[in-house]
Amino acid sequence: MNIKMSWLGGAGFVIKADGITVGVDLYLSNACMRPDGSFKRLTPAPAKPDGLNLDYLIASHEHGDHLDIGSLKQLVNKNNSTCLIAPTTAIVEAKKILGNEISSERFIILNRGESYKSQKFTVRACLADHGTDSIDAIGFFLCVGNKNIYFIGDTCFRTDMSEIVKPDIIDIMLVPINGRFGNPDSKEAAYFMQMFKPGLTIPCHYWLFAEHGGDPGEFLRQSDVIAPGHKKYLMAIGEEKEF
């Protein structure tokens, strides 16, 4: 069974398969912009949060471009049934924003080494080494529509990552390439390709803020050298593609 995937900028994706819709690390507001104008989003949000009709929202950690305080109440509220899956720190922050209007069973804590299974998908959390910036940040494997998707998350490059996360066969890997704030750059992302040997790699976490950095052209060049023959695909912001 194929899946449909949309890139909504930054590290944000929407995945549709088998009648469910899962959002990942969606940032659809401009809440990260500071008074001095830094961390202003560079492109308009490609979707309205209240029009996504998510069944689940996964946040890999509590940072504002992954757990969006500006759109969270539109994504998860009393008028829908969207459940939030996230590690402990992000769940605590989300509860501060959403208050008591959301029932407790809609907050699903998922920490490293834990799994959550619904009737139509499974998500298994693993290490994302974001240092002291986010002590319980997660990467995760999302198995939906017979596809196994590895979302590496905000992590530094580690040569022992494969031994730690113990991957299954990976159909699609989503990897940051911005090279700042502890994330892999284009070269390191290519080494992740070489390490995990996914069926397809999609780079992300670039062009959201000027401060983020990231060059998809450089990623293509590095991956051609370091992981030759491995498939990759550059998504346009707002693009939906079937895989």
Residue 101 banded pLDDT, cuts 50, 70, 90:
confident
Over residues 3-47, the pLDDT tens digits come to: 999 999 999 999 999 999 999 999 999 999 999 999 999 999 999
Mean pLDDT, rounded, for 90-94: 97
What pLDDT score does 100 carry? 85
What pLDDT score does 126 carry? 97
Calculate the CA dihedral of residues 193, 139, 203, 206 and round it to 10 degrees.
-140
**Domain residue limits, the chain:** 4-235
How far is the first Cα of the chain from the last one, in angstroms, to the nearest whole number?
9
For helices 186-196 and 216-226, angle between their N-to-C axes, nearest 10 degrees:
40
Q: pLDDT at residue 179 above 90?
A: no
CA dist., res. 126 & res. 150, Å (int): 10
Task: Mention every residue, 6+ apart, whose C-beta is less than 8 A from residue 59.
Answer: 25, 66, 67, 84, 85, 86, 90, 94
Over residues 213-240, the pLDDT tens digits come to: 899 999 999 999 999 999 999 999 999 9
Over residues 139-177, the pLDDT tens digits come to: 999 999 999 999 999 999 999 999 999 888 999 999 999
What pLDDT score does 114 carry? 98
Mean pLDDT, rounded, for 43-64: 96
51: number of Cβ within 10 Å: 7
Rounded to the nearest integer, the mean pLDDT of the chain is: 96
Cβ atoms 87, 109 nearer than 8 A: yes
Mean pLDDT, rounded, for 178-194: 94
What pLDDT score does 212 carry? 87
CA dist., res. 159 & res. 157, Å (int): 7
In the chain, what percentage of residues exceed pLDDT 70? 100
Confidence (pTM): 0.96
Angle at Cα 58 formed by Cα 210 and Cα 157, nearest 5°?
Answer: 55
CA dist., res. 79 & res. 102, Å (int): 10
Enter the CATH code of domain 4-235.
Answer: 3.60.15.10
- Tokens found for residue 28: 């659809």
What pLDDT score does 242 carry? 97
